[in-house]
Amino acid sequence: MSFVSPLFLWYFVPLVLAAVLVTPRGWRNAVVAVASLVFYVAGAGEGILLLLGLMALNFGAAFLLERDRLAPIDRRAVLVGTVGVDLSCLAVFKYAGFASAQANAIAGWFGGGVEVVQIAQVIGISFFTFHHISYVVDVYRGERTALRDPVAFIAYIAMFPQLVAGPIVRYREIADQLPQRRLHRLDDLAAGFPRFALGLTKKVVVADSLGPLVSAAFDTTSQNMTFAIAWLGAIAYTMQLYFDFSGYSDMAIGLGRMLGFRLPENFARPYSSVTVTEFWRRWHMSLSRWFRDYVYIPLGGNRHGIGKTYRNLFIVFVLTGFWHGANWTYLVWGLFHGALLIVERGFEIGKAPAAPWARIARRAATLLLVVFGWVLFRAADLGQALVMMGHMLIPDVQGLGDVVGVALTHQRGLILLLALCIVLMPARPTGPFLESSRSRFAFGLRTAVIVLGLPYAAILLASGTFSPFLYYQF
């Protein structure tokens, strides 16, 4: 069930919100838990069996991981075993097919062969695996106690706003919200709905409109690829991905608030970053925080010399790349960003204060590097990526061609231009228009989205003009 399907918008969400509002205080988590399992079954089918099995394992293991329950060595063994099962399931259901295909290709070099495993990917497995690991690790570290109420645990792990595409909610961030200490308040609905409306508009009006243009550019054959097509496709995808994924995050955060939960932010104007390091503090922030807390810091972070710091960054970005999907393009994309971070750290780029013109230049350079890297992220394989990236580096006088030229309609061109204007705005807009305050601007933006953008998005949805979120595949 997609956030942008009529079934979800017109029936599922109103029924869930009504149930939360009319049920007694102690029933909120039960409503959220049941609704979330129904939501997952509607979209993932048999994947619910794996989700329920892993929830049972991690819920039970957490009791043994609390301090003073077992000897330290036994607690560590329980933690390693539980996380091992979580990661093994992720490896089998997400990467077994890819790994067997690579083994078959290698065996073919020597005249042999390996059976390629065909396993249907479980929707959202990357996200709920990370939630489970966060839960048991936070309990093991003593940062939070294990939940005694299985309903509250299901509400956390399976909460439908963030179940299939994030944001990744660390247990420590939501543990204090799970006890139902107060009645659901109408001001939660008032605060959450504008955020949900903003995300829906970003997804349907901007991201979905750019989708056909992106597909036309990336599907162009190597013989017909040009400098103009490559750059147009890369820039259009840069906008599509941001408005699609940040739109999903806005909808998830808005839905969570309407249900009485405050989910963590996932984006902070990432394309305004002046270094790639800053970009990763602003893009998919919940994933960056997860890798920082559960991989980078446990490996030693930057505490043991420059060599080990580079090693740790390399490991994190290899994992970041492969976390996104079982394809060499994701691994190379992760290595690309990891290399950029190592270069920035080695030359201390961005640490010293810079003049305004230097910040503008750094922002432009950072954005160009990010756009270049997104080609790897979107390409079907490394061959397609290299063709596009090669044409991006070699200017020519050829145009867009017939297919891309037809895809670049006046409407899509205008939407792409508006999207670029939005992301290229100053990181901290000030001036007479805002009266030195962003609050009035934010209020005006929310009002404009609700009054203008939301009705238009509803019309597009009613006509069937929508597509799945890009991050559903991860």
Query: Measured in whole angstroms, how far is the alpha carbon of residue 437 from the centre of its chain?
Result: 30
Say if 215 falls within a structural domain: yes
Whether 163 and 213 map to the same domain: the answer is no
1-10, 285-294, 399-408: range with lowest mean pLDDT = 1-10
Segment 77-98 shows an average pLDDT of 93
User: At residue 182, does pLDDT exceed 80?
Assistant: no
Domain presence at residue 157: yes
pLDDT at 439 over 60: no
Shared-domain flag, residues 103 and 237? no
Spatial contact of 372 and 281, defined as CB atoms under 8 Å apart: no
Share of the chain above pLDDT 70, in %: 92
Tell me whether residue 132 is one of the annotated catalytic residues. no
pLDDT at 110 over 60: yes
User: How many structural domains does the chain have?
Assistant: 2
Backbone torsion region of residue 89, taken as left when φ is above 0, otherwise alpha when ψ lies between -120 and 50, otherwise beta:
alpha
Residue 8 maps to a domain: no
- Same domain assignment for residues 253 and 108: no
DSSP 220-284: S-TTT--HHHHHHHHHHHHHHHHHHHHHHHHHHHHHHHHTT--PPP--S-GGG-SSHHHHHHHSS
The reply to whether 155 and 58 lie within a common domain is yes
The predicted structure's pLDDT at residue 385: 96
- Based on the domain organization, do 419 and 447 belong to the same domain? yes
Pick the closest to residue 462 from 14, 9, 15 (CA basis): 9
- Judgement on whether residues 139 and 98 belong to the same structural domain of the protein: yes
Single residue among 158, 184, 210 that ends a domain in this structure = 184
Query: Which of 131, 324, 337, 391 is an active site residue?
Result: 324
The pLDDT assigned to 24 comes to: 81
Residue 244 falls inside a structural domain: yes
Q: Is residue 134 located within the same domain as residue 251?
A: no
| Residue that terminates a domain, selected from 184, 216, 235 | 184
Query: pLDDT grade, residue 184 (50/70/90)?
Result: low
Q: 427 Cβ partners below 8 Å, 6+ apart?
A: 269, 272
For residues 98 and 197, membership in a common domain is answered with no
Which range marks the domain in which residue 267 is found?
A: 189-274+363-473
Q: Could you write out the DSSP letters of every residue in 289-321?
A: HHHIIIIITTTTTTSS-HHHHHHHHHHHHHHHH
Residue 387 counted as domain residue: yes
- Kindly give, in sequence order, each residue whose CB lies less than 8 Å from that of residue 107, ignoring residues fewer than 6 positions away: 113, 114
Instruction: Report how far residue 435's alpha carbon sits from residue 446's, in angstroms, rounded to the nearest whole number.
Output: 18
Least confident of 105-114, 220-229, 258-267, 307-316: 105-114
Q: Are residues 139 and 176 in the same domain?
A: yes
Give the model's confidence band at 437: pLDDT under 50 very low, under 70 low, under 90 confident, else very high.
Answer: very low
Whether residue 240 sits in one domain with residue 103: no
- Tell whether 45 and 71 lie within a shared domain: yes
Let me know whether 177 and 198 are in one domain.
no
What pLDDT digit, counting tens, does each position of 340-389 carry?
Answer: 999 999 888 877 777 888 889 999 999 999 999 999 999 999 999 999 99
- 54's enclosing H/E stretch is helix 47-65
Burial of 214 (0-12, 13-18, 19+ CB in 10 A): buried
Burial of 106 (0-12, 13-18, 19+ CB in 10 A): exposed
| Amino acid (1-letter code) at residue 208 | D
* Residue 11 burial (10 A CB sphere; 0-12, 13-18, 19+): exposed
Residues 6 or more apart in contact with residue 453 via CB below 8 angstroms: 197, 198, 201, 205
